[in-house]
Amino acid sequence: MFRNAITLVTVLLSGIVFAQTPAPAVPPVATDVTAEEITRFIDALPRDRVSDLPIRTVSVTGDYRVGVYGVFRPKELPGGSNLHPVNTTEIYYMLKGYATLVTGGTLTDPRPAPSPSTSIRGSGIEGGVSRRVVPGDVIVIPGHTPHYFSELETDIEYLIFRPDPDNRIRLVE
Q: What is the pLDDT of residue 1?
A: 45
pLDDT grade for 3, boundaries at 50, 70 and 90: low
Report the number of distinct structural domains present in the chain. 1
Whether residue 122 is contained in a domain is answered as yes
For residue 96, what are the domain limits?
A: 46-173
Query: Between the CA of residue 147 and those of 103, 152, 153, 154, 165, what are the distances in Å?
Result: 4, 14, 17, 19, 20
Whether residue 87 is contained in a domain is answered as yes
CA 48 – CA 72 distance, rounded (Å): 9
Whether residue 20 is contained in a domain is answered as no
What's 107's domain CATH number?
A: 2.60.120.10
pLDDT grade for 19, boundaries at 50, 70 and 90: low
Question: Would you say 66 and 58 are in contact if contact means Cβ atoms under 8 Å apart?
Answer: yes
Whether residue 118 is contained in a domain is answered as yes
Question: Would you say 100 and 133 are in contact if contact means Cβ atoms under 8 Å apart?
Answer: yes
Question: Would you say 70 and 159 are in contact if contact means Cβ atoms under 8 Å apart?
Answer: yes
pLDDT grade for 43, boundaries at 50, 70 and 90: very high
Task: Identify the weakest region by mean pLDDT among 20-24, 36-40, 51-55.
Answer: 20-24
Whether residue 23 is contained in a domain is answered as no
